[in-house]
Amino acid sequence: MKIAIGNDHAAPELKLEVVEHLKKMGHEVTDTGCAVGERCDYPYAAQRVCELIRAGEAELGILICGTGVGMSLAANKFKGIRAACCSEVFSARLTREHNDANVLCFGARVVGAGTALDLVDAFVNTPFSNEERHARRISLITAIENDELK
Ligand code: RB5
């Protein structure tokens, strides 16, 4: 799978662990995040990953900042992006299965490397369920995005 990853200055070390893990699993990873010692504002990091997804150059994205919250707020402003901030595996799995989330966010100051890799595995390895009720709710989210929810 093609996966884009980004981070701000709170998370370069954890990002590297995630990149290595994904590559070991055979995924093609585009790392757009900042390096150790650099500083960057998380909305720009979110923008780079979301644009790759919107352009069809990545299927899923992973965004890591201090809490994961800023990244998810920024990512969800991009059309077509459904970003979920998760700190436990159940939500990371269900947000793929039910919400067809295409971006996983988490915080390097919230979860350790072990949990981070478990979140990534749950997110990347879970397909969307394709059940009608979930698809309908996602289309309602899209209607909100387009200011068309009735
Ligand atoms: C940066 O210090 C911090 O604010 C950022 O990484 C993130 O946690 C924001 O949500």
**Spans of all domains in the chain:** 2-145
User: Exposed, middle or buried: residue 26 (CB in 10 Å: 0-12, 13-18, 19+)?
Assistant: exposed
**Distance between CA atoms of residues 83 and 63, nearest Å:** 9
Which pLDDT score is estimated for 31? 98
What angle (nearest 5°) sits at the alpha carbon of residue 145, between those of residues 96 and 88?
A: 30
**Tell me, what's the pLDDT at 52?**
98
Q: What pLDDT does residue 36 have?
A: 97
**What pLDDT is recorded for position 32?**
98
| d(C-alpha 119, C-alpha 122), whole Å | 5
Closest residue by Cα to atom 10, ligand 1, is 70
Which pTM does this prediction carry? 0.98
Q: Is the CB of 67 under 6 A from ligand 1?
A: yes
Task: Please work out whether the CB of residue 10 comes within 6 Å of at least one atom of ligand 1.
Answer: yes
- Cβ of 65 below 6 Å from ligand 1: yes
Superfamily of domain 2-145: Sugar-phosphate isomerase, RpiB/LacA/LacB (3.40.1400.10)
Give, in degrees to the nearest 5, the angle at Cα 56 between 53 and 59. Answer: 60
Number of other CB atoms surrounding residue 36 within 10 Å: 9
Mean pLDDT in runs of 10 for the chain (150 residues)? Answer: 98 98 98 97 98 98 98 98 99 98 99 98 98 98 97
Residue 100 has what DSSP assignment?
-
Question: In Å, what is the CA distance from 9 to each residue of 14, 63, 89?
Answer: 11, 12, 24
